[in-house]
Amino acid sequence: MLLADCGGPYDLTPEHTISCYEAQPTSEAELAIMIFLKSQPWRYLGTRLLHVGVGNCSFAVEFAASLKQYVGITISLPEIVLFEQKLANFENAKVFLLNKYDPRFYGLLDGQFDIIVDTLLKSATCCEKHFEGMMEFFTSRLTIGGMLITTETGVQWGWKGNTKRAYTPGAQLDPSVGKLRVLTRNGLRSIGERLGLSLTAVRIDGSLIGGADDHLLILTKS
C-alpha cells in the first residue's frame, strides 16, 4: 500500500516546524472536547493530560490550573514561542517540540497520562507504520481507565499536502494521498480493539461549537 512505510523516521527541519495554528482560532473539534471536559470536571481535575497539537494554547490556558500536569506537544516552533509566553506562570505546564509519529522522540515524555487529547490522530501521518506505532505508544502511556479523546470530524480528515504549515517529515505531498490518512470511526474502533481500548461516542451539538454536530470518540483503556 502507498502509505505503508515512509522509510523513516526523518528529522524535523525548519521546513517542517514553520508557522501553524498559533494565530488561528481553536478548531471546532477541540472546542467540542473542551465543552465535554468542562461539563464533567471530575474527569480531568487533578489529572495528568497530554495534549497533542497545542495550537493557539487556548486549551492549555483553560485547563492547566485544574490539572496535576499539562504536557503539550507540537511540531510548530511559533506555537512553542506562544506557549512559553502564555503559560509562563504555570509550573505544571510544559511543551515539547516533538513529532508524534517519530518513536525517537517518545523518551522525552515521561510517566503515564490519564487523558490524551489529539483531534487529528492519523490525519497528518507519514505512513501506516508510524501511525500504528504512535497508537501503541499512546496506549502504553495511558493509565488504566485513562482516555484517548478525538473527534469524528478529525478521523474523517486527511491532510492533503499544504506545506505552508507545519507538517510531518516523510509525509507524501501528493494531494491524492490525503484520503489514505482518513482513519474513520470504524478504523479507530478496530485499532482500539487490537490495543485493548474500547470506543464510546458522545454527540456534541453543533450550536455549542459554532458549526456542524460532531461526535467525540473516546478510547478507554481497561
Q: Which is nearest to 214 in space by CA: 123, 121, 152?
A: 152
Question: Which of 8, 32, 49, 55 lies at the binding interface for ligand SAM (CB under 6 A)?
Answer: 55
Q: Which is nearer to ligand SAM, 73 or 219 (CB)?
A: 73
Q: Which is nearer to ligand SAM, 115 or 120 (CB)?
A: 120
Take residue 155 and report the three cell numbers written for it. 478521523
Q: Which is nearer to ligand SAM, 67 or 144 (CB)?
A: 67
Q: How many residues does the chain have?
A: 222
What is the closest distance, in whole angstroms, from the C-beta atom of residue 41 to ligand SAM in the complex? 21
3-state secondary structure the chain: CCCCCCCCCCCCCCCCCCCCCCCCCCCHHHHHHHHHHHHCHHHCCCCEEEEECCCCCHHHHHHHHHCCEEEEEECCHHHHHHHHHHCCCCCCEEEEECCCCCHHHHHHCCCCEEEEEECCCCCCCCCHHHHHHHHHHHHHCEEEEEEEEEEHHHHCCCCCCCCCCCCCCCCCCCHHHHHHHCCCHHHHHHHHHHHCEEEEEEEECHHHHCCCCEEEEEEEEC
Q: Which is nearer to ligand SAM, 127 or 142 (CB)?
A: 127
Q: Which is nearer to ligand SAM, 108 or 144 (CB)?
A: 108
What is the closest distance, in whole angstroms, from the C-beta atom of residue 130 to ligand SAM in the complex? 9
Residue 119 binds ligand SAM, judged by CB under 6 A = yes
Residue 131 binds ligand SAM, judged by CB under 6 A = no
What is the closest distance, in whole angstroms, from the C-beta atom of residue 145 to ligand SAM in the complex? 24
Question: Which of 50, 135, 166, 191 lies at the binding interface for ligand SAM (CB under 6 A)?
Answer: 166
Question: Which of 3, 54, 115, 155 lies at the binding interface for ligand SAM (CB under 6 A)?
Answer: 54
- For ligand SAM, the binding residues in 4-43 under the rule CB under 6 A are 20-21, 26-27, 29-30
**Which residue ranges make up the site for ligand SAM (CB under 6 A)?**
20-21, 26-27, 29-30, 52-55, 73-76, 79, 98-101, 119-120, 124, 166, 168
